[in-house]
Amino acid sequence: MTTAFDLNLIGRFVALLLPAAELRDGGNIRQSDMNFGGVVRGQDKVLSRAGQNCGTETMPSKAAPNKRCSTSNETKGKIEVTTRTKVKHMKQIKILLLAAALALPLVAKADIAGSKHDFSTNSWNTSRHTMCGPCHSIHDTDPSQLVPLWKHATTTKTFTMYDSPSFDGKATQTAQPSGASKACLSCHDGSLAVNQSFDGSYSSGSVVGGVTNIQMVGVSRQIAADGNLSATHPISFDYTDVASKDEFIKAPSSALTFATGNMVGKTVNDLLKGGKMECSSCHDVHKQKGAAPTDTFMRIVRNDYSELCRSCHIK
C-alpha cells in the first residue's frame, strides 16, 4: 500500500510538473495549459483554484484529453518579461508551489484515512485507534465471511428486496442482501452501533458495543432503515445474467467509458462482486478506486452527467 501511495504521489507531481516544463519557455503563463494531462480531470474545484476559466469547458473531456479552452474565453495570467532569467526562475518557483498546493489535498484523501469510514479518532476507539478494526480483524472474525475477515456485527433485519415489472434480475436476486451489501447495511440500516463487533468484543477486548451506543451518525445516511430496499437501486443479483437478457445493459466485458484514476482501462466486471451487483459496485468503502478518493459519496465513477449510471446502462 505504501508503494502504491508513493507512486501515486510521484505520479501526480510528475503530471503536475509536465505543464510547468512546457510553460518555462513561453512569454506568458497560459493558465489554461494547466490541464494536468487528464490526471485530475473532472476536479472542478482544483481547476478553478488554479485560476482556470474556460466558460463551460472547465475540464478537458475524455474524448479530447488535451483540449484546451478556446482563445475567446480563456483566462491568461500574463506576466511581463522584464529580466528574462529572474522572471523565469520566479515562474518556476511559483509553478512548483502551485503544484505542491494542488498535489497535497488530492493525495491526502486517497484512502480510508480521514474518510467517513475512518473511525480511528472516535471517542470509543482511543486505546488503539484502529482504522480497520470496526470492520475487520486478524483473528476471531465472523466465520460467515460476509466480507473478508468481517468483525462487525451483522444486521438481522428482514429486508424487502427491489422489484418492478421490467426488472430482469429477479430470477437471480438473493432473498436477502448478500455479501458486501449486507455488510454495508449492518451500519447503514441504523439497527446496529458502528462500533458493535459480532462477538461483542472490540479491539483490545473491552465491550463498547450496544445498539444504543454509537448509532449511524446522521439519519440521512441511513439506507433502508425501515427494511425497505425496494425503494433503492436493485442489488444482490447476477449482473451477467441480466446483461444477457437486456440489450440496454452493457456486457460485463465492456470498458468503463467514464473511468478515472486507477479504474482507467477496467471493465464493468471490475465493479461487480463475483459477477453480482452490490452496494460496492457504485461505492468504494475504502475510498481508493477511480473517482472515490475525491468524490463526495465515495463513488467509483463520479456521477456528473450521470456517468456512473451510463457506465452500465445504455441510455
Binding site for ligand HEC (CB under 6 A): 112, 116-117, 131-132, 134-136, 147-148, 152, 164, 166-169, 180-181, 183-188, 194, 216-218, 221, 223, 232-235, 239, 242, 246, 249, 271, 273, 277, 279-283, 285-286, 296-299, 303, 306, 308-309, 311-313
Distance of alpha carbon 84 from alpha carbon 58, whole angstroms:
31
Whether the CB-CB separation of 141 and 197 falls below 8 Å is answered with no
Q: Which is nearer to ligand HEC, 98 or 193 (CB)?
A: 193
Name the one residue in this structure whose C-alpha cell is 428486496: 161
Q: Which of 253, 250, 259, 268 is nearest to 301 (CA)?
A: 259
**Residue 278, Cβ density class (10 Å: 0-12 exposed, 13-18 middle, ≥19 buried):** buried
Q: Provide the minimum distance between the beta carbon of 220 and ligand HEC in the complex, in angstroms, as a whole number.
A: 6
Q: Which is nearer to ligand HEC, 260 or 281 (CB)?
A: 281
Distance of alpha carbon 288 from alpha carbon 276, whole angstroms:
20
Q: Provide the minimum distance between the beta carbon of 256 and ligand HEC in the complex, in angstroms, as a whole number.
A: 9
Name the one residue in this structure whose C-alpha cell is 493558465: 31
Cell of 22: 512546457
Q: Which is nearer to ligand HEC, 73 or 232 (CB)?
A: 232
Number of H helices, E strands in the chain: 5, 2
Q: CA–CA distance from 46 to each of 24, 50, 53, 114, 124 (Å)?
A: 22, 6, 12, 19, 35
Q: Which is nearer to ligand HEC, 101 or 264 (CB)?
A: 264
Whether the CB-CB separation of 235 and 177 falls below 8 Å is answered with yes
Q: How many residues does the chain have?
A: 315
Q: Provide the minimum distance between the beta carbon of 183 and ligand HEC in the complex, in angstroms, as a whole number.
A: 4
Q: Provide the minimum distance between the beta carbon of 43 and ligand HEC in the complex, in angstroms, as a whole number.
A: 17
Q: Provide the minimum distance between the beta carbon of 96 and ligand HEC in the complex, in angstroms, as a whole number.
A: 32
3-state class (DSSP) for residue 41: coil
Whether the CB-CB separation of 298 and 283 falls below 8 Å is answered with yes
Q: Provide the minimum distance between the beta carbon of 38 and ligand HEC in the complex, in angstroms, as a whole number.
A: 22
Q: Which is nearer to ligand HEC, 35 or 294 (CB)?
A: 294
Q: Which is nearer to ligand HEC, 68 or 299 (CB)?
A: 299
Tell me 42's DSSP state: T
Q: Provide the minimum distance between the beta carbon of 209 and ligand HEC in the complex, in angstroms, as a whole number.
A: 11
Q: Which is nearer to ligand HEC, 32 or 186 (CB)?
A: 186
Find how far residue 14's CA is from the centre of its chain.
Answer: 22
Q: Provide the minimum distance between the beta carbon of 23 and ligand HEC in the complex, in angstroms, as a whole number.
A: 36
Distance of alpha carbon 85 from alpha carbon 227, whole angstroms:
68
Q: Which is nearer to ligand HEC, 32 or 181 (CB)?
A: 181
Q: Which is nearer to ligand HEC, 35 or 155 (CB)?
A: 155
Q: Provide the minimum distance between the beta carbon of 143 and ligand HEC in the complex, in angstroms, as a whole number.
A: 16
Whether the CB-CB separation of 31 and 52 falls below 8 Å is answered with yes
